Structure 1
Amino acid sequence: MEFKTTKPLILASASPRRKELLSLLGAPFEVKTMEVDEHSVFGSSPAELVCNIAMEKGLHVAERNQDAIVISADTMVFIDDEPLGKPDNAEMAKDHLRRLSGRTHTVITGVAIYFDDVCSMFFEKTKVTFFALSEEWISNYVASGDCFDKAGAYGIQTVGALMVEHVNGDYNNVVGLPIAGLYRELKHLELIEHVTAGTRYDN
């Protein structure tokens, strides 16, 4: 199955995981990004915080590409409503994993869709439960480097999956983009349509 969008499609994210997931639509798109200071963005709830960051990531790209559909997203891990962002160093990564060990946390992705001077927002929540992690496992995992550049200091699509006991919700949301929800939102906004294969007539 392939789809086409009503306007040129831009992904305002440098994440290779989001790029791979968006590719599932089969619609052509470009990647354009602008730097955002995420620490300067606030929200009154975890979902609002993630959505506000997603909006900031796409805003300046959308302003420079007003003839396009611009999609931006932000994914964060929360434990006890406290965000666990991307670790700055190995010790922070270890601390994140110790907090997640043997517990259930929430992964929230906010997605912003900019088009025709409009910003449509939605977010997805997924509950993830970790097995209890030994100090040896935590140290070895952090030493592998897989923990860096990932919210919560783990990647569910890599060897980090071995820490996961249970996922309740959209797996792709944890990877970084709830692609099923995004497709349905684009469909609702009439920004995407299915490409029907042409009928072949043989003589």
Structure 2
Amino acid sequence: MANLILASSSPRRRELLQQLGLDFQINSPNIDESIYLNESVEHYVERLACSKADAIFEEFPNAIIIAADTSVAVDHHILGKPESKQHAFEMWHLISGRRHDVLSGVCVRTKHKKLSIVVRTEVEFQELTPQEMDDYWNTGEPLGKAGGYAIQGIAARFIPNIMGSYTNVVGLPLHETVQLLQTVKVLN
């Protein structure tokens, strides 16, 4: 098998890709993740995934690169990672007691092909009390997480329902990633 590189420092993406039984290396690119003016969430996650793949491909042109970017969106607005406790509370007020979308862009890049896809999952979040928000913040789990929560962690208790891919919400939609890898002949 060709050299496979995951263009991400995310431990969650690493763990998800390991579930496929693939041998891969990790090389995390440093790219600008700024949101363009009037950029849709779909375009944003796909653009970042492809930019990450391109950055690593420049260093390793004979490798097969897998890159992804995941964002939480509510009312077509991208919720990033919380910069502070206040920022986390603002995000949780937006998603509390309602549904929101989690979108991931995935890009697979080889010497001969560059394929990408956007996957959307709808997540229902229960109404959070100020005490629940405070308690959750104090766990430390929200730091570094899009939307300020981790479905695979403590926040699972706040999520009664999802419609779509669970692994997408964690950070790498495995079914769609496998389809891309099959297209470039990495998997059968």
* Length-normalised TM-score, structure 2: 0.95
1:74 to 69, 82, 91: 69
The residue identity in structure 2 corresponding to 1:36 is I
Q: Which residue of 2 aligns with 1:85?
A: 80
1:14 aligns with 2:9: yes
Matched, 1:192 2:187: yes
CA distance in structure 2 between the aligned counterparts of 1:141 and 1:78, rounded to whole angstroms: 20
Does residue 140 in structure 1 map to residue 135 in structure 2?
yes
Is the Cα contact below 8 Å between 1:170 and 1:178 reproduced in 2?
yes
Asked if residue 61 in structure 1 is aligned to residue 48 in structure 2, the reply is: no
Q: Which residue of 2 aligns with 1:160?
A: 155
By how many angstroms is 1:44 displaced? 3.6
Question: What amino acid sits opposite 2:183 in the alignment?
Answer: H
Structure 1 position 143, deviation (Å) = 1.5
Question: How far is the alpha carbon of 1:176 from its aligned partner?
Answer: 0.1
**1:153-198 residue CA offsets vs partner (Å, 9 max, x unmatched):** 00000001111011000000000000111112211232223xxxxx
* Structure 2 segments unaligned to the other structure (5+ residues): none
Question: 2 CA distance for matches of 1:79 and 1:68?
Answer: 36
Q: What stretches of structure 1 of length at least 5 have no aligned partner?
A: 1-5, 194-203
Query: Is residue 113 from structure 1 mapped to residue 91 from structure 2 by the alignment?
Result: no
Runs of at least 4 residues of structure 1 off by over 4 A? 40-43
The number of equivalent residue pairs is 188
CA distance in 1, matches of 2:114, 2:180: 12
The answer on whether the counterparts of 2:7 and 2:29 sit within 8 Å (CA) in structure 1 is yes
Q: Which of the numbers 84, 87, 94 marks the counterpart of 1:99?
A: 94
More strand per residue: 1
Choose 32-41 or 50-59, whichever is displaced more.
32-41
8 Å Cα contact 1:74/1:111 also seen in 2: yes
What is the one-letter code of the residue matched to 1:140? D
Letter in 2 for 1:75: T
Maintained 8 Å contact 2:16/2:174:
yes
For residue 39 of structure 1, give the secondary structure of its aligned residue in structure 2: coil
- Residue 124 (structure 1) aligns with: 119
Checking the alignment, whether the CA contact within 8 Å between 1:105 and 1:127 is kept in structure 2 is yes
SS in 1 for 2:161: strand
Q: Which residue of 2 aligns with 1:3?
A: none
| Distance in structure 1 (CA, Å) of the matches to 2:166 and 2:17 | 14
Note if contact 1:42-1:52 (Cα within 8 Å) is conserved in structure 2.
no
- The one-letter code sitting in structure 1 at the alignment partner of 2:64 is I
Partners of 1:31 and 1:43 lie apart in 2 by 32
User: Structure 1 CA distance, aligned partners of 2:39 and 2:127?
Assistant: 31
Contact 2:113–2:184 (CA under 8 A) maintained in structure 1: no
How far off its partner does 1:37 sit?
A: 1.7
CA positional deviation for 1:118:
2.9
Cα 1:170–1:40 change in 2 (3 A) is closer
Give the alignment partner of residue 176 of structure 1, picking from 165, 171, 177. 171
